[in-house]
Amino acid sequence: MTASAELATEIRRLFFAEHWKRGTIATQLGTHPDVVERVLGHLGPKAGTPRPRPNLLGPFVAFVDETLAQYPKLVCTRIYDMLRGRGYTGSIKTLRRYVRTARPQPRSEVFLRVESLPGEQAQVDWAHVGSLCVPGGRRSLWAFVMVLAYSRALWAELVLDLDIHSLRRSLVRAAAFFGGVARQWLFDNAKTVVVERRGDAVRFHPDLLDLASTLHAQPRLCAPRKPHEKGKVERAIRYLKERFFAARTFHSVAHGNAQLLAFLGEIADQRPHPRWPHRTVHDVFDEERGRLLPLPSPLPITDVVMPIAADKTAFVRLDTNRYSVPADYARRSITLVASDAEIRLLDGHQLLACHERSWGRHQIIETKEHRSVLLESKQRAREPKGRDRLQAEIPGIDVLVERWVEQGRNIGSMVAKTIRLLDAYGSQLVSDAVQDMISRGTHDPGALAMLCEQRRRALHARPPTIIELGPHVVERDVIPHDLGGYDE
């Protein structure tokens, strides 16, 4: 069938101007599809070939490439906002398809393996290894780890704090364990080590520099966000976590350190050296030991020494805990000397008090002699009251007090209710009930009263005779009367 000039013109108009499909043109004009195909011919795209759409992103491609070159990790939504302000009207999907192929790929870093000389470097780091239950709550448990870079000899200890004083103690103990000091200490950029850093300009903590000067060691830092530069200690921490800390619990720092020290000597030192597998770490350390710097005699003192003021109750505060001093030194300035094991309080060279250091929270550590002297000087304080009486007569009452604090209860009210039970049932029965409550994990004084009563009945003891009357109750004589009227 031959198409007229008018029909051919209409077919071309509907296809190119109105963007009708070929089948729609044939149906609407009542002509055969072959006529439509023949009229369009080479003038239009063949059937099934999509027509090219205008590329709205095209004018902005150069800007996108330049932005990605400067900020390779910039998200597409931010680029989209920038393009909208420059007149882009396309969709974010179109932009994402292009950015997916145009974003510069990060260059993979090539690492250089470096082996240190014997006695040259020791790498230092901390690892979080869980938490420890302490009086008054829980504390994070950390492992201080030092590795000699040449021999891979390892030393570690558990600590409860990460301040500069803890670092100094651990560094001196590590030096004593190895029998010498490496010429360099390599740290990361922890705040305990670095006071300030701007590029390559570093200001170390002055207490760390003082210790390094005494031991003749040089502190050095890794580059920021470059943990692989101290990969030997990172690998040692992974080894300890997998081989020692996994599936192991401790009830105290001393208990954990005793096990850790035995592990270092019996297992860690006997592992194969990664560079010379036929030799153990202990064998290589014997070679390195003679290259370490000798230790000074005596070793540096790592105790915290500082002036401190005793408050009006004759206590001094360290961390969140309070330690007693003689009553004569209330409101006076004295000297505190603290290690991780004990607290000594001095007046010049005179020892006023020595306490075992508490790593709990909000604990009161008091010497019996300090309290007895204070009670003798206070007539109204000779009889212990409130919590003092409960602590003296009921073992374990501090656990209930901690639970009352955690639950936000009024401590004074709770103590008063417990004292009333103590007066009514006696110390032995209340103590047994308190231990039962602690094992059950409860803390309510009403439950304590029920337990006391249950134990009293089990013992067939006499019931308590204390009857509490409110302040509104007035004592009056009650005149009995005939109750027959109630029947009416």
What pLDDT, in 10s, does the model give residues 191-250? 899 998 887 788 999 999 999 999 999 999 988 877 778 889 999 999 999 999 998 988
For residue 141, the tally of other CB atoms under 10 A from its CB is 19
Q: What pLDDT does residue 472 have?
A: 63
Q: What is the mean pLDDT of residues 317-331?
A: 91
The helix, strand and coil proportions of the chain, stated in percent and rounded to the nearest 5, come to 45, 20, 40
Residue 277 placed within a domain: yes
User: Which residues lie closer than 8 Å to 144 by C-beta, 6 or more apart?
Assistant: 124, 126, 156, 157, 158, 159, 166, 167, 170, 174
Residue 39 placed within a domain: yes
DSSP 181: B
SS3 306: strand
Residue 14 placed within a domain: yes
Q: What pLDDT does residue 111 have?
A: 59
* pLDDT band of 299, cuts 50, 70, 90: very high
Q: Which of 174, 148, 312 lies closest to 230 in space, CA to CA?
A: 148
Element containing residue 307 per DSSP (H, E): strand 304-309
Q: Which residue, of 379, 399, 429, is where some domain finishes?
A: 379
Residue 476 placed within a domain: no
Same domain, 127 and 166: yes
Residue 199 placed within a domain: yes
Same domain, 137 and 226: yes
Which CATH number does the domain housing residue 163 bear? 3.30.420.10
Same domain, 172 and 207: yes
- Scan for tokens 């909000």, then name that residue: 362
Same domain, 130 and 272: yes
Chain centroid offset of residue 128 CA: 8
Q: Which of 388, 313, 315 lies closest to 352 in space, CA to CA?
A: 315
Q: What is the mean pLDDT of residues 8-19?
A: 84
How far lies 296's CA from each of 167, 214, 217, 332, in Å?
Answer: 18, 8, 12, 37
| Count of domains for the chain | 5
Same domain, 375 and 408: no
Buried b (16+ CB within 10 A) or exposed e, 312-337: eebbbebeebbbbbbbebeeeebbbb
Same domain, 390 and 375: no
Which of 61-75, 323-337, 431-445 comes out lowest in average pLDDT? 431-445
Using CA atoms, how far apart are residues 214 and 218, in angstroms rounded to an integer? 11
Taken in order 151, 157, 163, 167, the sign of the CA dihedral is: negative
Using CA atoms, how far apart are residues 125 and 240, in angstroms rounded to an integer? 13
Same domain, 150 and 232: yes
Using CA atoms, how far apart are residues 156 and 258, in angstroms rounded to an integer? 11
For residues 109 and 183, which has the higher predicted lDDT (pLDDT)? 183
| Euclidean distance between the first and the last CA atom of the chain, given in angstroms as a whole number | 120
Residue 472 placed within a domain: no
* pLDDT band of 109, cuts 50, 70, 90: low
Same domain, 244 and 220: yes
Is the pLDDT score of 434 beyond 60?
A: yes
Long-range pairs of 258-266 with CB within 8 A, sequence gap ≥ 24: 260/143, 260/156, 260/157, 260/158, 264/154, 264/155, 264/156
Same domain, 76 and 187: no
Same domain, 283 and 308: no
Q: What pLDDT does residue 296 have?
A: 93
Residue 237 placed within a domain: yes
Q: Which of 143, 114, 117, 116 lies closest to 129 in space, CA to CA?
A: 143
Residue 485 placed within a domain: no
Q: What pLDDT does residue 378 have?
A: 64
Q: Which residue, of 356, 379, 402, is where some domain finishes?
A: 379
Same domain, 190 and 85: no
Using CA atoms, how far apart are residues 480 and 303, in angstroms rounded to an integer? 78
Q: At what angle do helices 33-40 and 5-16 cross, to 10 degrees?
A: 80
Residues of the domain holding 90 = 58-102
SS3 371: helix
Using CA atoms, how far apart are residues 61 and 164, in angstroms rounded to an integer? 54
Same domain, 319 and 255: no
DSSP sequence for 329-355: GTT-EEEEEE-SSEEEEEETTEEEEEE
Q: What pLDDT does residue 475 have?
A: 56
Q: What is the mean pLDDT of residues 413-417?
A: 83
Q: Which residue, of 329, 347, 379, is where some domain finishes?
A: 379
